[in-house]
Amino acid sequence: MFFTTIVLAIREIRRHLLRSFLTTLGIVIGVAAVVTMVTLGKGATAAVAEQISSLGANILQIRPGQGFGRGGGGPQSPDFDMADVEAIQEQVAGVRAVAPQAQSSGLAVRNAANWQTTINGTTTQFFTAQQWRLTDGRIWTDAEEQAGKAVCIIGSTVQQNLFAREEPVGQRFRIRDLSCEVIGTLATRGQGGFQDMDDVVLMPI
């Protein structure tokens, strides 16, 4: 009985060869489409997870902003100061590090080279919170931070545009109107949050 069924099936396939081919092709295309969509979905999920990880999956950023109230608005919130930083560190449980940041942009100039970049003023706690690694040099000391020394750590994009293949550690360049000594270089981080994470100059706040 089973053998007879197989013979009849083969006979029908031969009688309608084109129809059988198109049916088989449709099944193959359908399976391939499902596999492709699943693969693309997994790839997109991995890409999003990587971007979130590069920004810091366990990091909370707090910014002063516009207040809200009746009438659709309120006064502008005052900027944070170091007293706020200390209060968060002391009063919020489970916080590993609190790193204040003052961010702006500026023109970095060295000899004939210049590059518009992001300037990030912060403290040594930043490197604990963000877990940014250095490829060369060092992090500034607490003494340099307290004294407001003109030292900086640069990302690989800044390094490439200002120093090309030269060793930047120990050299100086101007950022806005300040002469800054390079004491370290950051490991490459790539894109994160649709921005170049390596296009940055870190300085003591």
- DSSP code of residue 92: S
pLDDT reported for residue 67: 56
Burial class (CB within 10 angstroms; exposed 0-12, middle 13-18, buried 19+) of 18: exposed
* 121, 205 Cβ separation under 8 angstroms: yes
* CA 44/CA 50 separation, integer angstroms: 10
- Rounded to two decimals, the pTM is 0.64
Question: Where are the domains positioned within the chain?
Answer: 2-55, 97-204
Q: What is the pLDDT of residues 8-23, one digit of tens each?
A: 656 666 676 777 677 7
Q: What is the pLDDT of residues 142-156, one digit of tens each?
A: 999 999 899 999 999
